[in-house]
Structure formats: C-alpha cells, structure tokens
Structure 1
Amino acid sequence: MKQRLQQATLHRLLDANARFALGGNGTTNHCPMALCALAAMGAPPERLQDFFDMWESRYALAAPAATKVVERETWQAGVGNPTSFVALRDCFEEWIWCSGADAVLAQTLQHMPFAPASGAFHALIRLSYGLEAQHVGEIAAGLAALASGNLHIDTGSQPRTPAVSVRAGFDSLSRAVHGVQFDGGMITSRLRAAAAEPRFQAALPAAPAQPQLLDQMAQAAIALYWQTNNFTALHIVTGLHAARRVFEHLPSVLVSQLMPELWAAVCAAYVSIGAPALAPAAALLIEEDVLPDSADTWQDLFTTAIASDDDHVIKLVYTCYSENLRAPSPLYLAAAARRAGRVLQMH
C-alpha cells in the first residue's frame, strides 16, 4: 500500500513538473531526476511533495508555451534547437503512447547525432530516470532534451587507433592536454571548448575494442571523481549510469553504434577539467573498514540523501549504490559518503 502511494505521488509530481521549463533559476531543472532518485531510495510521499515544493519556490521557471507543433515526420528539424524542447516533448509523448518507449527510443536515436553530453549529461540522466519510473512524460522530456540541446562531439572522419583500455586512452589525452584550462562558467561551455581544442582532436583515440567498455568507463569515472572531487567528473559518473539504464532499452546492435559517441563525450568531459593524470588504481583504494560496505551503511546514506535538498547529493548517492551493486568498489561508498557529508576516517 505504501509503495503504491509513493508511486502514485511520484507520477503526480512528475506530471506537475511538465509546467516547469527545461532550465531553472541558475540551473537545469533537476526536480524530476531528484524525485525519481528519492523514490528509488524509499522516500515517503510527503518527502517527495516537500522536495517538489522546495524546487518550485526556489528554482522553477515556467515552461514557455509551444509555438509550433512538431510531427513525427518532422521532429528532426528540432534537433539542436533549444526552443523546440516543449514541442518535441509533446511529439515524443504522443508517439510513445502509440508505439511504446523502446520503439521510439530506437527510432529517434538512430536518426539524430547521439550526444550524451547534452545539457552536461542531464538530458541522458533525465531520460534514464523517466525510463526507470516508467513515466511517459518524463521519457519524452528526456528524449526532447537530448534532441533540442544536442551537444554532439564531432570527431571528424579521420581514422583513429583504438585505445588499449579506457585508462590508456585517458593517459594519452592527459599527456597531450594536461592542465589546459577552458573558458566558460557552465559545464557545457567548457565541454564545447574542449571538444574544439586541436590537441584534443589530435590525441583522441578511438574507443577501446572491448566488450565491457561501459564497465571500464564507469570504473575510470568513479576513480576520476574520487581523485579530483570535480563537479564535471561527478556528472560523468551519473551520466554513465544513465547511459547503462538507457542502453538496456535498446537493441545490442544500436548500442554498439552509439558507444563510440559515448566514449567521445566522456573523453571531452575529462579533457574539459584539465585531463588530470589518473593515479594508479592501487593508490586510490580505500581501506574497506573506513565505512563498512553493508546494507545498514547504505541505508544511512539513503537517509541522509533523502533529507537533503541538494539534488546532486540525492542523485550521486543513488548512482553509487546502483553501480556498486553491479561492480562493487570501495570508491563508490567513499564518494557517496563524501558527497553526503559523512566524514571518512582515513588510516
């Protein structure tokens, strides 16, 4: 009964979120993503309502009215046009109701540049949460954000030698671009500047030809975030988790086609923070008795995250928990605890 009430509340609030713009007051509209993560961690209905009310009063901006109608046959005209978000969302929502989310995802992602870095990875993250919550409006909104804010990393047509591994690929980029600073107050601005940097274009290897590439990228991302405590690195971690969730809804052949674009986006994000050399894996290991990796420890972190109004605390704790279930690493627990404000007693 409690779970049904929680899900009903979540869907009601996600419906209400449609009146908010894609952006917020000085930020992206994180409200629906945070609500989904809160619900997944067990937040009760009243907490979901409190977070929604907080967001509406502090950050929400009214969504503009759609000035045009986008049809299924013409949706590609809105790709890369931020003003098309509402019209694209309405088009995708109707399409999903008719054909199903997985079919629409496959159809659209085959016919636009895959741009996982769009909106600093938030478009992909929003799409993944919409899929997890099984909320058609949010699936449509995430897909519309991915299309309208399409930040595609153009790597040109020249042949590139695949990196031996993700870490080897990062190492080659670090040697070429280490310490370079990119202008821009927003993550997306620095991403665009990094992608356009000639040294990045010259040094970028092709994606490693390995079947577990996404797992390797996730492992490198949590190591990068733990090492740097960098805000963009946090978005790489949550963005890769989102990619995993979205890819579960796509045919494996299409996932293989999209993976090089995900690799390029992650590499551009890495370079945008100065391409710091990754420390050896052994040097990053946290003593496992600092915080016991147990159900009780994670539940304590859930309790902290559920009480927080910081959407990045909420999403990172849930992401680290989910990724740690797949591929346990003390770095996930350590990173989640640090972001949630838990003190780690290092020995």
Structure 2
Amino acid sequence: MRKDPVRLKLEELLDANARFDLAARGTTNHCPMALVALAEMGASAERLQAFFDRWEREYALSASPVETLIARGEWSRHLGNAAAFGALRLLFLDWITEVGSAPVIVAVLNEVPFAPASEAFHALIRLTYGIEAAHSGEIASGLAALVSSHLPVDVQFDERRAAESVEAAFEHVVDAMGGSAVEGSSITSRLRVVASDVRFRQAVLAPPVSACLLDDVAQATIAAYWRSRNFTILHTVTASHAARILFAQLPEAMAARLLPGLWVALCAAYVTVGRRASGEGDVPDLAVSWSDVQRLAVASNDDHVIKLAYTCLCEYRRQPSAVYLAAAARVVGLDLGRR
C-alpha cells in the first residue's frame, strides 16, 4: 500500500533532523515537534519541507560526531550528561530497532526517576510527538533528551494533605514562595532554582483526589494560560497533553506511578511565574472555526504557535471546551470577535 505523500515527507524530514543538535540557536530543537504538529493539522508535503528548510537556515546547529558509543547496560550512568545526547540517541535507536519502542520506553522510565521538567518539558514533548509519528529516531531522541538533560524535581508525598483542586495547589505553592517571579535566564534555569528551594519542597501539596486528574490538570493549565498569556504556562499546556500521550502507552500502574512526577514539575513551573495580576477570565463565544485556526497555524513559522494550536485542537477533540478554541485562535492571531 502506498503511503500518503505527507507521511513520506514527514518521515524523510524526521530522519534528516538527526543531523541537528539537541540545542538550536537561542533555543532547543523544536523542528521535529513542529513538523509532527503541522502534519497532523493538514500541512502539505511542500509546507513541511519549507518549514524544515527555514529551520535549518535560521536555527539549526549541527550535531557533534559521536566518538564513543555507550553500552546498553551503562546508559543510566549518563543521567544529566548533556554531552551524551548523541550517543544515547544511537543506543536507544538500536535498542528500539531490536525490540520495538514500547519495551524501551518502559525500561528507561523504570530505570531513572521521571523528570518531565527536563529541557523545559521539551524532552517529554519530543518523545510523545515521536510516539504519535511512530518514528523510532524521534522516540530515541526524546528518551535521550530525558536522560541527558535530566532535571528532577523531588518531592515526597508521604502524609501530605491533598489539594482541594489543581488551581488551589498552584496558588498554595506560589504563596509559600512569596509570590514573586523567579529570576533566571531561561525556563530551565528558573526550574532549577525552584527545585532546590526547601520552601517549595515543603509547600507542595499532594494531588487532589480525582478519578481524572490528568483531565483536571489539562483544564487548569489551559485556563491559566488563557488568563496569563505566559510563555512558561504555555509549556505546561503542551506538557500536560504530552503526558497524556505517554501515559496511554504505559501499563496503567506505571502511569499512575509517574503521574506525581508530572504534578510536581507543573507546580514548579507555575511557581517560577509568581503571582500574576488577573487577566482576561471570560472566554468569548467565537465567530471562528477550527479550520480557520488550523489554516493559520499551518502557515505560521513560530514553533510554539504551531504546537500550542495543535495541543488545543487535540484536547478540544477529546473534551470540547471553548477555552481551547479561544486560546488557539488568539495565538494564531485571529480576531476574537464575539458572535
């Protein structure tokens, strides 16, 4: 059976992305994530190629040659070793080729502490976009990023009271940290400051008791982004969706074990922003459609616009809520005129 031309182009460009470094000029390598989101929102093969070419010209850095291979039994020794990304990627790709992606994902997440804040949540997002694209190289890259950029935010929940809601938990830790935004040159640097602060570790509440905590988290993060338009909060929206994709690939008990790690990382991200003035709370009844949003998102060259619009579309399809359409419409630049 012939493959769709868009799928063939996506596979070609994701393969070609292997020549790029994990980092990029002034950012991380968002190219593969944006390509997957573009393809899922209806981009043509030509549009994918154009986005890739522009990224290569303006942002991409060449990957360093891998001079020393890592043995399969030794990969966990490179936890937090940024220089090991390339060698880890090759190791995980070889392993996936041999046994398939699911066993490797489970093995890696069983071996090292789950750290979704790694690389400002991009390692998690890249892994899950690789899962969506069924692309072994991108799954290997996501796992390698989680290991080499490992940023743990350790909190133990023994005998801690549960938060009444996700929003209340976020506000509680912000209050405990004094309400001011955390200083730092990047999301990652600010997350590291919070992770090392004893006030944060003491203040984090256990997740609220809920049969659908991931849904509650997703709704809280998009509501916070709608009010704030904050760049860090944007990453909590895309990370929450990414966690949904990842957890669906895992045994139920394992996903439940990893969920607190996501909870703590999101609390830490929220704390970095500090107490913000209340922004726009009401969600307008829009005279726009998802087809309008997708058309503008596909035309965008902003990788964060593309990923947020795609995340909102996926979450809306799962659980329709006006705030997803409103946030996506706003980020692609649509006039939010009321009906």
- Using a 3 Å threshold, how does the CA distance of structure 1 residues 72 and 159 change in structure 2: closer, same or farther? farther
The letter of the residue matching 1:286 is V
Q: TM-score, normalised by structure 2?
A: 0.95
2:310 is matched with which residue? 318
2:121 is matched with which residue? 121
The letter of the residue matching 2:334 is R
Partner residue of 2:283 out of 264, 283, 286: 286
1:333 is matched with which residue? 325
C-alpha distance in structure 2 between counterparts of 1:278 and 1:170, whole Å? 15
Partner residue of 1:342 out of 320, 334, 338: 334
1:163 is matched with which residue? 163
The letter of the residue matching 1:128 is T
1:185-243 deviations in whole A, cap 9, x for unaligned?
11001111122223222211122232211111101000110010000000000011111
C-alpha distance in structure 2 between counterparts of 1:106 and 1:212, whole Å? 22
The letter of the residue matching 2:281 is L
Mean CA deviation greater in 2-11 or 305-314: 2-11
Q: Indicate the SS of the match to 2:118.
A: coil
Q: Is the 8 A contact 2:75 2:88 kept in 1?
A: yes
Q: Indicate the SS of the match to 2:98.
A: helix
Shift in Å at residue 172 of structure 1? 1.8
Q: Is the 8 A contact 1:187 1:232 kept in 2?
A: yes
Q: Does 1:143 align with 2:143?
A: yes
1:60-109 deviations in whole A, cap 9, x for unaligned?
00001113211221110111111110111101111111111111111110
C-alpha distance in structure 2 between counterparts of 1:181 and 1:14, whole Å? 37
Q: Is the 8 A contact 1:214 1:244 kept in 2?
A: yes
1:292-347 deviations in whole A, cap 9, x for unaligned?
5xxxx111111101111100111111100000111211111111111111121369
C-alpha distance in structure 1 between counterparts of 2:3 and 2:294, whole Å? 17
Q: Is the 8 A contact 1:116 1:262 kept in 2?
A: yes
Q: Is the 8 A contact 1:169 1:205 kept in 2?
A: yes
2:90 is matched with which residue? 90
Shift in Å at residue 59 of structure 1? 0.3
Q: Is the 8 A contact 2:181 2:271 kept in 1?
A: no
Q: Is the 8 A contact 1:178 1:276 kept in 2?
A: no
Q: Indicate the SS of the match to 2:202.
A: helix
Q: Is the 8 A contact 2:169 2:205 kept in 1?
A: yes
Q: Is the 8 A contact 1:21 1:60 kept in 2?
A: yes
Q: Percent identity?
A: 50
> Where does 1:1-347 land on structure 2 (aligned, <5 Å)?
4-156=4-156, 159-276=159-276, 284-288=281-285, 290-292=286-288, 297-345=289-337
Q: Is the 8 A contact 1:178 1:277 kept in 2?
A: no
Shift in Å at residue 164 of structure 1? 2.5
Gaps of 5+ in 1: none
Q: Is the 8 A contact 2:157 2:205 kept in 1?
A: no
Q: TM-score, normalised by structure 1?
A: 0.93
Q: Is the 8 A contact 2:70 2:91 kept in 1?
A: yes
**RMSD across aligned positions (CA):** 1.8
Q: Is the 8 A contact 2:78 2:147 kept in 1?
A: yes
Gaps of 5+ in 2: none
Q: Is the 8 A contact 2:187 2:232 kept in 1?
A: yes
C-alpha distance in structure 2 between counterparts of 1:53 and 1:93, whole Å? 25
Q: Indicate the SS of the match to 2:22.
A: strand
- Using a 3 Å threshold, how does the CA distance of structure 1 residues 189 and 203 change in structure 2: closer, same or farther? same
C-alpha distance in structure 2 between counterparts of 1:204 and 1:250, whole Å? 26
The letter of the residue matching 2:140 is A
